[in-house]
Amino acid sequence: MSPRRWVVALERAWDSTRLRRDRSSPPTHFRIEPYIGHGGPDGVVVRGRVLDNPPGADAVDGEGVGAAVRRTLQHFATRELPGVPLRVTVAGAVAETVTDEEGYFRVRLEPPPGALTSPWTPGTVELVGDYRGTTAPAAVVQVRVPSAEARFGILSDVDDTILETGVQRALRMVLRTLTGSSLTRTPFPGAVELYRDLEAGVNPVFYVSSSPWNLHAFLLAFLRHRGFPLGPVLLRDLLGTWAGREHKDDRIREVLDLHPQLSFVLLGDSGEHDPQIYAETVRAYPGRILAVYIREVRLDPGDGRVEMVSGSWGSEVPFVLAADTDAVRRHATGLGLL
């Protein structure tokens, strides 16, 4: 058994014991945490999680490292609630679902034609009936709806693409995650202005990352604080299930399939697998990708991983390995994207 599967097994055993102990009493801090949804004429996808712990405190200016560490650990010390019956309503469309073993839910709805409003359509996620003797108010979910004036969509990685993380230096990455906050973590120079100009008030932005859903609130607060265009932040479960982890390319396909009217600009970095994933996306969606921009962040730029992709790249879609944001801006301007 792989180490990850051992950890999953231990987590499942701990959760089962906790749930057996708590099943006769109502949750203390029952809450529904919807994530930003997205959709259009071809449907709407809404995700979220149901938890039994209070929401984490917001970061404040001047707080110490200890406060930042405690808040980060609270993001991961979750008491998820499986088997919770929910009803999701968006623009008159209704879907019922039940949370999975990690407390997550995902539904796809089909609102009637013309019912969605751009750029945002509100919806609700509510508890159906009684769960362990508790009731709760409906939670509001916001759904990003591209307008008819959108020229293209922007699909972007987060870590080491817009947010300085240092994924290849594991210890540094962990320290930054533990001790930083949405107020202190920094974007790459020029990234905010580039994304605002690409968005241009109408083009939707989708953030797709391999970070865990536990960091969703932090990433959303970071985007708001730094002034990035808001959009769905699509992450993954920290450990996954017995079947494995959700793959990043699954969420990319979800975005492209749900918005077939849009072409896309893809932005990522060279630190992990973005070049390979984006190359497969270009092949799977011919004519849909306008350009691929990869930020160079490798510790060893001569390792050949990116060059294996770029060396076999066709000429129909620009593939740009960029040293900084200015290089992306110059190329995007030349293509007429800005």
Contacts of 310 (CB under 8 A, 6+ apart): 275, 319, 321
Calculate the CA 275 to chain-centre distance.
18
Question: Does the pLDDT at position 338 exceed 70?
Answer: yes
Mean of pLDDT values over 25-44: 93
Q: What b/e sequence results for 197-207 when a residue is b if at least 16 CB atoms lie within 10 Å of its CB, and e otherwise?
A: bbbeeebbbbb
Each residue's pLDDT tens digit, 124-168: 999 998 899 898 899 999 999 999 999 999 999 999 899 987 665
Q: What is the residue-wise DSSP string for 150-171?
A: ---EEEE--BTTTB---TTSHH
Residue 287 CB neighbours (<10 A)? 9
Most confident option among 190-204, 209-223, 288-302: 190-204
Cis bond before residue 286 (omega within 30° of 0): no
The confidence score (pLDDT) of residue 182 equals 76
If you average pLDDT over every residue of the chain, what do you get? 87
Whose CA is closest to 206, among 227, 233, 228, 187? 233
pLDDT band at 52 (very low <50, low <70, confident <90, very high): very high
The amino acid occupying position 48 is G
Beta strands in the chain (DSSP E): 30-34, 37-40, 43-52, 85-90, 93-98, 104-109, 120-127, 139-144, 153-156, 205-212, 233-236, 264-269, 289-295, 319-322
Does pTM surpass 0.85?
A: yes
Q: Which residues pair with 73 in a beta bridge?
A: none
Average pLDDT, stretch 285-313? 82
Using 50, 70 and 90 to split pLDDT, how confident is the model at 12? low
Region of poorest pLDDT, from 76-80, 109-113, 206-210, 254-258: 76-80
Check residue 4 and give its pLDDT.
46
Q: Which residues have C-beta within 8 Å of that of residue 282, sequence separation ≥ 6?
A: 289, 292, 317
What burial class does residue 129 get, using C-beta atoms within 10 Å of its C-beta: 0-12 exposed, 13-18 middle, 19+ buried? exposed
Lowest mean pLDDT among 61-70, 84-93, 154-163, 250-259: 61-70
pLDDT at 14 over 60: no
Instruction: Using the predicted structure, report yes or no on whether residue 272 has a pLDDT greater than 50.
Output: yes
Instruction: Write the pLDDT tens digit of every residue in 298-310.
Output: 766 667 777 777 6
- Return d(Cα 181, Cα 221) in angstroms, integer: 9
